[in-house]
Structure 1
Amino acid sequence: MGSPVYIQIHNQLRENIENGKWHVGQKIPAERELASHFNVSRMTLRQAIQALVDEGILERRVGSGTFVANRKVQEKMAGVTSFTDLMLAAGKTPSSKTISYHLTVPSQTEIEKLQLSAGEQVLRMERIRSGNNIPICYEIATVPAKLVEKFSREEITTSFYRTLEQKAHLYPGHATQHISATKATERIATYLQVKRGDPLLRMTQLSYLQDGRPFEYVHTQYVGSRFEFVLEK
């Protein structure tokens, strides 16, 4: 007995991509057009497409269609690397969109994690980080206000780590990271251009300077099909 029809279509579509018929970032034909081409129902065609999405070969963009997926951005689980440097290493142009940015009173957890003194404020910023204008992650970052008081908003939101290094000669050292799986809420799905309920990687990271001081506490949600962590032993 031969393979199911949707698997045969899956294999043909994958071959088209591997042979260069459709390039990375290119939109593939609409489901109706492909279903007609293969002479199958849209349900069968959709099964083939979904299998390729699950494999990270295709990606759906809400309101735009289905595209050949970019190579996933990788972060090696060792040391601290800025988002900007990760994007550049992957051959992508980094960008950020700031959702909120304000000085505020820290939570008890932030006081403990960042080792803050009584009365200290924090800068909390909410951002969407992208590579080649494709959203990679949504993050909420908290840093001690006194650490960034001499920096402009642009210097902080564009590339915080580079600003620390170039303006204050402070260099990131190590970090502790906690990673789990989650699903996109309606709000986060809109920010990341995915569907509500799509899988995300959730990471909480506490970063330290080389002198041992904690300087950034971040909660990040990554699009699972566009990002992966690599563990080195």
Structure 2
Amino acid sequence: MYHDIANDIIAKINDGTFDVKLPTEQELTSQYEVSRNTIRRAIDVVYQRGLLRRVQGSGYYVNNQPSASKAIMNLSIGTGLAMHSPDSKLTSKVVTFDKIRVTHAEARLMRVADNTEMWRVVRVRYLDDEIYNLEHSYYPTSVVPVLTVDAVNDSIFEFLDETYDIQPTSSEDYVSIEALTADQASPLGQQPGEKVLALSQLNFCGNGLFFNYSISQYVYPGMRFYFHAANLSSN
């Protein structure tokens, strides 16, 4: 329930309904007809995504976004959530969907044991029918026993939330400029050696439980990354 409310608040921030400040908790409680605790959990999700700042005694204010681009990747929560317009559509073309046993090199990247069984998903993603990125992602079968074709073709993270109550709580992100290999360039319609933005992520849920590793190459025009840092010092 609170995730649905969080998503609705995010949509209202993106479309300008909430452009300066969120309504009070009491107003949101009345609007969504839920408990104050549910509203607080929803606000916490939005806050973690870097869209809000809290002013003591005054409430939650909307952070100004750094660009009008419809393809800003929000790294504040660590899942690479796109901050494109709610009217935009993100779709997928699956290249590979199978189970593998990770090699020693792959295991080191994911910090798991050699030969760990993983779901492997390779897909090209499109934003409004224009190529967005090439994504290689991996999910340990010990954490995600079942991964469906429908989920792979749509939103894997939504499936994990709904099926296993898995939500990302922390991540490690690495952004770089990389030259495309021939295998990467072909599905992206690019030339080998073309330099693009790349993002690798380790995603964790619950008590630091690893559930996903991904590496993506972005070719969408105007692609940017956004990160919001909060000062947690008590001084």
TM-score normalised according to structure 1 size: 0.60
Once the two structures are superposed, the pairs formed by residues 61-80 of structure 1 within 5 Å of their partners are: 71-80=69-78
For the pair 1:170 / 2:169, whether they are aligned, the reply is no
**Residues 189 and 87 of structure 1: CA distance in aligned 2, closer, same or farther (over 3 Å):** farther
Amino acid in the other structure paired with 2:151: E
Which shows bigger deviation, 186-195 or 152-161?
Answer: 186-195
TM-fit CA distance, 1:123: 1.1
Secondary structure at the counterpart of residue 211 of structure 2: strand
Amino acid in the other structure paired with 2:160: L
Amino acid in the other structure paired with 1:77: L
Q: Which runs of 5+ in 1 are unaligned?
A: 1-69
Q: Give 1:158's match in structure 2, choosing from 154, 165, 171.
A: 154
Tell me what 2:215 maps to: 219
TM-fit CA distance, 1:231: 3.1
Structure 2: distance between partners of 1:88 and 1:231: 15
Once the two structures are superposed, the pairs formed by residues 1-233 of structure 1 within 5 Å of their partners are: 71-81=69-79, 83=81, 86=82, 89=85, 91-116=87-112, 120-223=116-219, 225-233=221-229
Structure 2: distance between partners of 1:149 and 1:219: 22
1:200–1:224 Cα contact (<8 Å) kept: no
Over residues 48-71 of structure 1, what are the superposed CA-to-partner deviations in whole Å (9 max), with x where a residue is unaligned? xxxxxxxxxxxxxxxxxxxxxx94
TM-score normalised according to structure 2 size: 0.60
2:101–2:118 Cα contact (<8 Å) kept: yes
Q: Which runs of 5+ in 2 are unaligned?
A: 1-67, 230-235
Structure 2: distance between partners of 1:211 and 1:173: 9
1:199–1:223 Cα contact (<8 Å) kept: no
Identity %: 19
Q: What do you get for the CA RMSD once the two structures are aligned?
A: 2.6
Amino acid in the other structure paired with 1:231: F
Structure 1: distance between partners of 2:69 and 2:212: 28
TM-fit CA distance, 1:119: 5.4
Residue correspondences, number = 162
TM-fit CA distance, 1:80: 2.8
More helix by share: 1
Structure 2: distance between partners of 1:161 and 1:173: 12
**Structure having the higher Rg:** 1
Structure 1: distance between partners of 2:93 and 2:129: 10
Which shows bigger deviation, 138-147 or 184-193?
Answer: 184-193
Tell me what 2:59 maps to: none
